[in-house]
Structure 1
């Protein structure tokens, strides 16, 4: 098991003021994605006060916000409106993201029924339950499953009929990476053949702001400035994401698109220390030392560390020292180890903070570039950067142009639960000797699109039309993914196209509701159960 690795083959996320499509662009542009808590969550004016000592208040409601999280297509997930209203929106978003992640991985969910797919979710917020406490008369038959943390994972297993392990992990701000670690371990130990892992965090009640404000953890200025001398705490953020994982050899065997390779994951805990919420350098350093030794990676070969980097006066210097002692001090003097933190862009997603860290690391590996950590006006003089051969990435920089780069992602819970994930760039896929994509445009192949409703089907067509490029190889790949690696829902449209332009025209016309129609349009039938006999007539 020592040399086995894990492949990340799909993901989906919900991030403050950005999306999967724009996240990398926003990081490269150095955008500040922080705003305030959405106005419809609660009456903020009654809970905000500039003094931390003022009872029942927070010094700030600055936040990385998703905005409206109330919308949910309950019918698609076969949930009644009454039950959907009782469900914590965190459960609703996890259902949406899991479906999108499986689609991103090219895995039709029908194929997952009864499979040993494990579900490992990081979740700590019980804000929706706090809202019920404000109105006890609203508690109903679905309130228990709607607000219980463990159901967030179990509901996914139930909906998709997944029969591997199913659990929720709460280690505070390291929950996402600890859940990720548990998913990898389940795959490596043969408990699961596939794993769905991620985390979620939403601001649905002022309680979280009040408790962290009283603990002097939040930035009174409402600014997220990891590693900066003027940093005065972190800015809360909401969001989440899920990842689809598979054992690396299995992913290669199945022809999956591998987004990044997990070289190793590791977790430990601080144990007894100066204070419950004060990080322990020795424990964090020990975790990093053991992780890279187990992965067989020389510290000098690490390209970048995505630090936990929250912007707190205590946490940042201690984390930097731990990284320096474990890794920086063991590198060549002319090869300082680059550090950064995505929290400078979108704040600290707490339980789900590992999600944007992993997403950033995946993009860094694919693009061989590290975006800047923004908001650093003057580096915190308490950071022992020079002592240990470290440097903060304050301007975008390229990774080494050759060889598989390596990126580490850190996460720490404020009670002392530490986690680290080591990612490597996936090898370039081997090209077939005879690519089926190199074909004449005169060949006619079907394109099957499906959705749950007629309206959604036209939207799917509109989205798909933008993918069609007129390149034969891309044409084949698009049709193959749509026909064989996508879910076949009830409403379906079948298109034929001799040339790529003809196909694109037909798809766009259908999406716009014009007279031009696909070759076939109608409802799909349930997949037959049991044997099917085909009599093809004379000859083959």
Structure 2
């Protein structure tokens, strides 16, 4: 008698962060998606050095760029100005994204020092190194600053993590391919926590020029995936970081669970589709194999976040989705699980451009947001579908309007698809987080609570207080007890500190306003003014005082039962300043200053 196939262990997304054109976090990104905004504009002069002209009669190159690609809070991470100037901006962006992902998960970084946390990063292009070569400038700091291996290794070093740490390069599918070793390693027990990340920054014209000349980039900047205006892809900048953990462990530890990864599959076209194209049958096989390996019917997927670049690959991808669904519906009892009885297709690239090596991971972030908000946003700018696109009689539709998709008794699932220019394919299936089950009932707290806040300096502390005030005024303000628990146990203790004492959100809002304005307040305790601590129960008064003195304290001892963590508290407001080796950095050293082999 054959045993039932074992369902692979689900993997929880317990923390996430992102940064794109027009958005510094997931909430802002969602507003862009919901508002159908396209963050695509002409590339400013000098933004991409050595950029050649594109095809004949093409207009100015357009892209979705970050407002401040050169910006980095070097002091926050203890990085010298010289090192920051010669450090690839991909490393800078990922340092900040990793910090924000930890905050989103409610994990204080010091808790993980020396832990076997795995780091998997999509390998970016070497634009910054090419820019140095073109300028004929070199510095010893460029040795670790520009090697691709330091994209993940810099993160492991900064946070003192000892798990596997390496980059994955499968071109534009890298951002999804990096999920595969993370999920496999977690299921195999090789490590208990994985950070998966990708970033894409454009700072040299070599690749852009070659892609533009080859016709891969849109000459108009108005290209819309799956539309009649499809004429090439539009480049985008930004990145994302996900923290992954086995679902059972996340539930045991009380971690926030944003969504669950049921399966990840990777493959290649082989010779089909050509060296730079994509093949529909190969993608169809991958879709079906990924669902089968995940132990879920492919017909249970109600939405596909497509690669959808606005190139000829759109037709192959749409055909693959259609053929895979037709095959899945041949199974007895199978039915389409998407809203309105259809399988919907969308693409975030219509909003923020194609982030290339980071595109797949941004697709996962969008999938999490779709599940969270119960809405499939439309493909921004889509007014007329590509006339060559046909779904036949299959129940497949483009997201040409907002489609509500509320959570009910049926688990919602999303397929995230990606393929690289060299033929590498990747696909992931993301589903709803389990309904939260109440842990041991939280005790009733009748007295005021301590809410510790800290920053690298007074400016950072004030900016953090301002952000938290905005969160309290939002449509779903946090519960005070969970907020206090998260700030006590899930945030780093930085140099500039204060403790806010509040019995409700109204009192907390008043105290935050005072901190934001740099003013004293009866409910704000600082190193010099500690009267507010007298409002706390005596044991917590001592703990809060020790914390203000810079000591390591155990806040958890004051809580009979842990509280749910607040995953959506604002991240630390980095104070970025420009660090660009050929504009703001120090004079380059000579080549003899490069460390000898074996000293790294």
TM-score under structure 2 length normalisation: 0.82
Equivalent residue pairs, number: 518
Distance 1:165 1:229, change over 3 A: same
Tell me the equivalent position of 2:456: 452
Distance 1:19 1:82, change over 3 A: closer
Q: Deviations over 1:271-328 (max 9, x none)?
A: 122520121222211111111112222233211111111111x211111111112224
What is the Cα deviation at residue 400 of structure 1? 5.1
Tell me the equivalent position of 2:91: 91
Partner SS, residue 521 of structure 1: coil
Q: Deviations over 1:471-514 (max 9, x none)?
A: 99811111111111111122211222345433332232122112
8 Å CA contact 1:6–1:262 kept in 2: the answer is yes
Task: Supply the distance in 2 between the matched residues of 1:460 and 1:365 (Cα, whole angstroms).
Answer: 28
Partner SS, residue 264 of structure 1: strand
8 Å CA contact 1:66–1:239 kept in 2: the answer is yes
Partner SS, residue 178 of structure 2: helix
Partner SS, residue 527 of structure 2: strand
What is the Cα deviation at residue 60 of structure 1? 4.6
- How does 1:92-241 map onto structure 2 within 5 Å? 92-136=92-136, 138-241=137-240
Tell me the equivalent position of 1:492: 497
2:317 to 316, 319, 325: 319
Task: Supply the distance in 2 between the matched residues of 1:473 and 1:527 (Cα, whole angstroms).
Answer: 26
Tell me the equivalent position of 2:417: 410
What is the Cα deviation at residue 255 of structure 1? 0.3
Deviates more, 1:294-303 or 1:61-70: 294-303
Tell me the equivalent position of 1:16: 21
8 Å CA contact 1:7–1:247 kept in 2: the answer is yes
Q: Deviations over 1:114-164 (max 9, x none)?
A: 11100001122111011111122x201111111111101000000101000
Structure 2 residue 253 is matched with structure 1 residue 254? yes
Tell me the equivalent position of 1:514: 519
8 Å CA contact 1:232–1:311 kept in 2: the answer is yes
Task: Supply the distance in 1 between the matched residues of 2:478 and 2:88 (Cα, whole angstroms).
Answer: 44
Tell me the equivalent position of 1:354: 360
2:379 to 373, 376, 397: 373
Task: Supply the distance in 1 between the matched residues of 2:124 and 2:484 (Cα, whole angstroms).
Answer: 41
8 Å CA contact 1:329–1:389 kept in 2: the answer is no
Tell me the equivalent position of 1:383: 389
Deviates more, 1:274-283 or 1:62-71: 274-283
What is the Cα deviation at residue 82 of structure 1? 0.8
8 Å CA contact 1:123–1:352 kept in 2: the answer is no
Partner SS, residue 220 of structure 2: coil
Q: Over aligned residues, Cα RMSD in angstroms?
A: 2.3
Distance 1:274 1:227, change over 3 A: closer
Partner SS, residue 240 of structure 1: strand
Task: Supply the distance in 1 between the matched residues of 2:259 and 2:477 (Cα, whole angstroms).
Answer: 27
Task: Supply the distance in 1 between the matched residues of 2:348 and 2:326 (Cα, whole angstroms).
Answer: 20
1:481 to 461, 480, 486: 486
8 Å CA contact 2:49–2:205 kept in 1: the answer is no
Tell me the equivalent position of 2:434: 427
2:398 to 367, 392, 395: 392
1:341 to 336, 347, 364: 347
Task: Supply the distance in 2 between the matched residues of 1:384 and 1:287 (Cα, whole angstroms).
Answer: 21
8 Å CA contact 2:383–2:400 kept in 1: the answer is no
What is the Cα deviation at residue 179 of structure 1? 0.6
Indicate the structure whose relative CO is greater, using CA pairs within 8 Å and at least 6 residues apart: 2
8 Å CA contact 2:415–2:429 kept in 1: the answer is yes
Task: Supply the distance in 2 between the matched residues of 1:8 and 1:384 (Cα, whole angstroms).
Answer: 35
Unaligned runs of 5+ in 1: 53-57, 529-540
8 Å CA contact 1:453–1:491 kept in 2: the answer is yes
- How does 1:292-303 map onto structure 2 within 5 Å? 292-303=291-302
Distance 1:507 1:64, change over 3 A: same
Deviates more, 1:65-74 or 1:452-461: 452-461
What is the Cα deviation at residue 61 of structure 1? 1.8
TM-score under structure 1 length normalisation: 0.91
1:525 to 537, 540, 550: 550
What is the Cα deviation at residue 433 of structure 1? 5.9
Task: Supply the distance in 2 between the matched residues of 1:407 and 1:13 (Cα, whole angstroms).
Answer: 19
What is the Cα deviation at residue 107 of structure 1? 0.6
What is the Cα deviation at residue 79 of structure 1? 1.0
8 Å CA contact 1:223–1:234 kept in 2: the answer is no
Distance 1:224 1:181, change over 3 A: farther
Task: Supply the distance in 2 between the matched residues of 1:455 and 1:376 (Cα, whole angstroms).
Answer: 43
Partner SS, residue 496 of structure 1: strand
Task: Supply the distance in 2 between the matched residues of 1:142 and 1:497 (Cα, whole angstroms).
Answer: 47
Tell me the equivalent position of 1:536: none
8 Å CA contact 2:342–2:396 kept in 1: the answer is yes
Q: Deviations over 1:342-376 (max 9, x none)?
A: 11112111111113211111011112210011222
Task: Supply the distance in 2 between the matched residues of 1:469 and 1:199 (Cα, whole angstroms).
Answer: 32
Unaligned runs of 5+ in 2: 1-5, 330-334, 529-547, 554-600
Task: Supply the distance in 2 between the matched residues of 1:167 and 1:433 (Cα, whole angstroms).
Answer: 40
Deviates more, 1:410-419 or 1:444-453: 444-453
Task: Supply the distance in 1 between the matched residues of 2:496 and 2:143 (Cα, whole angstroms).
Answer: 34
Tell me the equivalent position of 2:531: none
